[in-house]
Amino acid sequence: MPGGHRLSARRALLPPHRHRMGLSIAQKPVRRILRAAERGRGSLSPMNCPFCGGDDTRVVDSRPAEGGAAIRRRRECERCSNRFTTYERRDEALVVIKRDGSVQPFSPSKVFTGLGYAVADLDIPPGSLDRIVREIEMFVREEGPRVNSEDIGHRVLDALRDLDEVAYLRFASVYKEFRGASDFEVEMAALEEQPRS
Interface residues toward Zn ion, by CB under 5 A: 49, 51-52, 54, 77, 79-80
Nearer residue to Zn ion within complex by CB, 77 or 111: 77
Q: How far is the CB of 49 from Zn ion (least distance, A)?
A: 3
* Closest residue to Zn ion: CB criterion: 77
Alpha helix ranges (H) inside the chain:
3-8, 23-39, 108-119, 128-143, 149-163, 165-175, 181-193
Q: How far is the CB of 58 from Zn ion (least distance, A)?
A: 11
Q: How far is the CB of 77 from Zn ion (least distance, A)?
A: 3
If one counts every other C-beta atom within 10 angstroms of the C-beta of residue 153, the result is: 19
* Alpha-carbon gap, residue 117 to 173, rounded angstroms: 12
Task: Calculate the alpha carbon distances from 153 to 69, 113, 130, 183, 184 in Å.
Answer: 33, 13, 16, 17, 17
Nearer residue to Zn ion within complex by CB, 79 or 146: 79
Nearer residue to Zn ion within complex by CB, 57 or 173: 57
* Secondary structure element (H or E) that encloses residue 75, with its range: strand 70-77
Task: Calculate the alpha carbon distances from 140 to 12, 154, 167 in Å.
Answer: 28, 12, 22
Q: How far is the CB of 171 from Zn ion (least distance, A)?
A: 47
Nearer residue to Zn ion within complex by CB, 9 or 77: 77
Nearer residue to Zn ion within complex by CB, 45 or 182: 45
Q: How far is the CB of 55 from Zn ion (least distance, A)?
A: 9
